[in-house]
Amino acid sequence: MFNRKNRTEIQQFVVTAQQMQAIETRLFDAGMPVAALMEKVAGRITQRILSKIESIPINSIGVLVGPGHNGGDALVVARELHFLGYSVIVCCPFSKRKELAESHFQYITSLGILIEENIESLQNCDVIIDGMFGFGLERPITDELAEGVNVINSWKKRVFSIDLPSGIHTDTGEVLGTAIKATYTFCLGLWKFACLQESALEYLGKVELIDFDIPLADIEEILGKTPEFRRITPEIAMADLPIPRSLTSHKYKNGNLLIVAGSHRYTGAAILAGLGARASGVGMLSIAVPNSIKPLLSTQLPEALIVGCPETEDGAILDFPSHFSLDQFDAIACGPGLTQSATSLVQMILECSQPLVLDADGLNILAQLDPISTLSQRQAATIITPHPGEFKRLFPELGEELKNRILVTKKAAQQSGSIVVLKGARVCIGTGETVWINPESTPALARGGTGDVLTGLLGGLLAAVVLNQTPLDSIVKTAVWWHAQAGIEAEKDQTQLGVDGFTLTQYLNLKPIQSRFFNESHP
Ligand SMILES: NC(=O)C1=CN([C@@H]2O[C@H](COP(=O)(O)OP(=O)(O)OC[C@H]3O[C@@H](n4cnc5c(N)ncnc54)[C@H](O)[C@@H]3O)[C@@H](O)[C@H]2O)[C@@H](O)CC1
Ligand SMILES: [K+]
């Protein structure tokens, strides 16, 4: 029996407009008629829209139609909804259409479907289907068309965008002039970059992929055997989580992590990183902090070995205690709350030969040390976790390119030879060969302290997998996805304002996060 599960991997692939066009061209060259494909795709879009509107009372549906094949899709959807008995109003504010769109336009005219040119004519519709532009948008939306889009947005109706919200750049996700604010975006065939770019987030609404059976061989031909840009799925995120443990497992097999964090001023950062590492299940945890805050850490993390360190006059770590060796650790996580006074310590850590997660002040100190050459010289893997501000300090010449977060992450990873975790609403992970993007998160995580938790979690997983030689980038995906899912779960219980760093740590080991994966992969 045909098993559709082997198509779940297409949920991972992310394409540019150019790549999508190249893939579709292969289908057409192989003999798939363009009109047949449009018919098939629009049929699936119709089904998806129906599943969202079945339970709500609908008097009429407005369909916004553009001049190209996005408009063609919309016309077929309009026709099908008409045959299903819905009252449909089509609005096409263009006098010229591509041939196939024109043909559908003529046919729906013959069916007596109401056709208007003025966008205001959709004002009384209960829902709007946006088929104005898809990946063929080539210039900003201006003048009357822009006014029309803004009017639609002002109605705050339920809007279903076909492929992309009209006005969104397919690759950067930027708004070109203005853009439709969708309630749902049904991305067609393969995920477009824009669906994972932060600049488009306020416009996308909920995003869903509509698979239309592009053969995997055609995808592979254009994207290669291991596509460069990938979306993290639950299966991918959990694949390398080091569970279940062997029945004869012991603490030394589950990683030995050293966290270097905190200062007299930022005590909490060390605690939150420690709690993040605790949730990772790491076998052995040591936390190096300034001597004066050692008692506090011991109270909060009784299982950890707290290493009290000599401190600077302003309460930062000056150095490790004498006879302290970094060699005993499987991995090091360094940075949260150190302050910039810990420069010599960070320099020493950068020179060690342990895999390293570097965050926060660790990154600010690195920024002053010729970051690219320092990172390139490291003998072990380095994972850096900058937010955009830290990123600009580390890679000033890439600062301007931050509008395309996916591409800029790739460049930074290639230049530095590190795994780059660019933080934000859609975290991008650059490994040199691949950029992974986390598709789900919550603004509840946008507050101080949640990053410290990620550093600890990442460090703990890193220490655990170094021993079993799992590729390190795989657990970076795990940590980023897991952290975001914990935020989402915490928000459900605690509201969007209730997810402080400590609360977040209490949700990391929640069963629903792991069962979500198991439910999806073992239905
Ligand atoms: N290629 C295909 O056969 C398939 C395409 N599909 C649909 O087709 C879409 C792509 O179709 P197209 O390549 O025709 O592109 P679009 O339908 O996105 O738009 C292209 C048209 O818009 C015009 N245009 C672009 N920017 C404009 C602006 N700012 N103001 C006014 N006019 C502007 C262009 O001159 C062109 O006529 C996809 O997004 C998807 O919805 C799907 O049906 C699947 C198959
Ligand atoms: K659209």
ipTM of the complex: 0.96
User: Residue 518: what pLDDT?
Assistant: 58
**Which residue, by CA, sits nearest to atom 13 of ligand 1?**
136
CA 137 – ligand 1 centroid, Å: 6
- The verdict on the CB of residue 261 being under 6 Å from ligand 1 is no
Which ligand ends up closest to the CA of 129?
A: 2
Q: Which amino acid is at 375?
A: L
User: Residue 1: what pLDDT?
Assistant: 41
Q: Quote the percentage of the chain above a pLDDT of 70.
A: 97
Task: Compute CA distances 305 → 136, 300, 301, whole Å.
Answer: 58, 12, 9
Residue 270 host element (H or E): helix 267-280
User: Residue 523: what pLDDT?
Assistant: 38
420: β partners: 384, 430
Q: Does 29 score more than 60 pLDDT?
A: yes
Nearby residues for ligand 2 (ion, Cβ within 5 Å): 130, 161-162, 166
**Which residue, by CA, sits nearest to atom 21 of ligand 1?**
68
Residues 16-28 as b/e (b if ≥16 CB within 10 A, e otherwise) read bbebbeebbebbe
User: Residue 2: what pLDDT?
Assistant: 46
CA distance linking residue 133 with residue 136, whole number of Å: 6
- The verdict on the CB of residue 130 being under 6 Å from ligand 1 is no
Q: How confident is the model over 230-237, as a mean pLDDT?
A: 92
CA 99 – ligand 1 centroid, Å: 12
Helix, strand, or coil (residue 230): strand
Which ligand ends up closest to the CA of 73?
A: 1
- The verdict on the CB of residue 24 being under 6 Å from ligand 1 is yes
- Structure-token pair, residue 229: 């840009």
User: Residue 522: what pLDDT?
Assistant: 41
CA 166 – ligand 1 centroid, Å: 10
Q: How confident is the model over 70-99, as a mean pLDDT?
A: 97
Nearest ligand 1 atom, CA 141: 29
- The verdict on the CB of residue 131 being under 6 Å from ligand 1 is no
Straight-line distance from the first to the last Cα atom of the chain, in angstroms, rounded to the nearest whole number = 17
- The verdict on the CB of residue 98 being under 6 Å from ligand 1 is yes
Task: Compute CA distances 121 → 78, 115, 147, 388, whole Å.
Answer: 16, 9, 14, 43
- Structure-token pair, residue 140: 């900003």
Nearest ligand 1 atom, CA 97: 37
**Which residue, by CA, sits nearest to atom 16 of ligand 1?**
136
The full DSSP string for 93-139 is --S---HHHHHHHHHHHHTT-EEES-GGGGTT-SEEEEES-STT--S
pLDDT digits (tens, 9 = 90+) for 35-66: 999 999 999 999 999 999 999 999 999 999 99
- The verdict on the CB of residue 71 being under 6 Å from ligand 1 is yes
- The verdict on the CB of residue 38 being under 6 Å from ligand 1 is yes
Pair 228, 432: CB distance under 8 Å? no
- The verdict on the CB of residue 163 being under 6 Å from ligand 1 is yes
Number of residues written out for the chain? 523
Q: Does 520 score more than 60 pLDDT?
A: no
- The verdict on the CB of residue 161 being under 6 Å from ligand 1 is no
- The verdict on the CB of residue 262 being under 6 Å from ligand 1 is no
Q: Does 170 score more than 90 pLDDT?
A: yes
Q: In what order do the strands lie in the sheet with 305-309?
A: 229-231, 435-437, 428-430, 419-422, 382-384, 356-358, 331-334, 256-260, 284-290, 305-309
CA 132 – ligand 1 centroid, Å: 8
Q: Does 326 score more than 60 pLDDT?
A: yes
Cβ burial of 440 (10 Å; 0-12, 13-18, 19+) is middle
158: β partners: 127
Q: Does 132 score more than 60 pLDDT?
A: yes
Q: In 224-342, which ranges are continuous DSSP H helix?
A: 234-239, 267-280, 294-300
User: Residue 458: what pLDDT?
Assistant: 98
Domain with CATH 3.40.1190.20 in the chain: 235-242+249-521
Domain with CATH 3.40.50.10260 in the chain: 14-227
User: Residue 195: what pLDDT?
Assistant: 98
Predicted structure pTM score: 0.95
Nearest one of 90, 111, 98, 106 to 70, comparing CA atoms: 98
CA 297 – ligand 2 centroid, Å: 53
DSSP 8-state class, residue 224: -
DSSP β-ladder status, 435-437 and 428-430: antiparallel
Q: Which CATH architecture has domain 235-242+249-521?
A: 3-Layer(aba) Sandwich (3.40)
CA 175 – ligand 2 centroid, Å: 13
- The verdict on the CB of residue 137 being under 6 Å from ligand 1 is yes
- The verdict on the CB of residue 114 being under 6 Å from ligand 1 is no
User: Residue 138: what pLDDT?
Assistant: 86
Tell me which CATH homologous superfamily contains domain 14-227: YjeF N-terminal domain (3.40.50.10260)
pLDDT digits (tens, 9 = 90+) for 463-480: 999 877 778 888 999 999
- Structure-token pair, residue 412: 């930074």
Pair 367, 390: CB distance under 8 Å? yes
- The verdict on the CB of residue 165 being under 6 Å from ligand 1 is no
Residue 488 host element (H or E): helix 472-494
- The verdict on the CB of residue 73 being under 6 Å from ligand 1 is yes
Average pLDDT of the residues of the chain: 95
**Which residue, by CA, sits nearest to atom 40 of ligand 1?**
70
Nearest ligand 1 atom, CA 73: 43
pLDDT digits (tens, 9 = 90+) for 354-395: 999 999 999 999 999 999 999 999 999 999 999 999 999 999
- The verdict on the CB of residue 436 being under 6 Å from ligand 1 is no
